[in-house]
């Protein structure tokens, strides 16, 4: 299924299955990124943080007037990095 309908189902119906499908869509990229982390003891912490950020992005994504979700997630990440 396409990403935006899954986001809509998650927002409007609080559909946990839709959220799981979104996670599955991003899993290959998450795994690839996590391979760069050398310390196995913190790798799972990073995985959990990524999932939390995806959930927040999906729940706050404006389906009516926003960039695509990938751009939105990247913008959120940039803003957080600027604050740190």
pTM over cut 0.85: no
CA-angle at 13, arms to 9 and 19, nearest 5°: 50
- pLDDT exceeds 70 at position 14: yes
> Is residue 84 very low, low, confident or very high in pLDDT (cuts 50, 70, 90)?
low
Instruction: List, for residues 54-83, the tens digit of each pLDDT value.
Output: 999 999 988 886 566 777 777 777 777 676
Q: Is 43 exposed, middle or buried (0-12, 13-18, 19+ CB in 10 A)?
A: middle
pLDDT of the residue at 83: 67
What's the gap between Cα 35 and its chain centre? 18
Report the mean per-residue pLDDT for the chain.
87
Domain hosting residue 22, numbered range: 3-83
Structural domain count, the chain: 1
Closest C-alpha to 23, from 50, 61, 63: 50
Mean pLDDT along residues 25-36: 94
């Amino acid at each position: 299924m396409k990403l935006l309908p899954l986001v809509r189902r998650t927002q409007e119906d609080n559909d946990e299955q839709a959220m799981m499908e979104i996670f599955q869509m991003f899993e290959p990229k998450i795994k690839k990124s996590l391979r760069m982390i050398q310390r196995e003891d913190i790798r799972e912490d990073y995985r959990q943080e990524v999932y939390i950020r995806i959930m927040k992005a999906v729940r706050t994504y404006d389906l009516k007037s926003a960039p695509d979700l990938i751009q939105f997630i990247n913008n959120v990440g940039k803003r957080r990095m600027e604050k740190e």
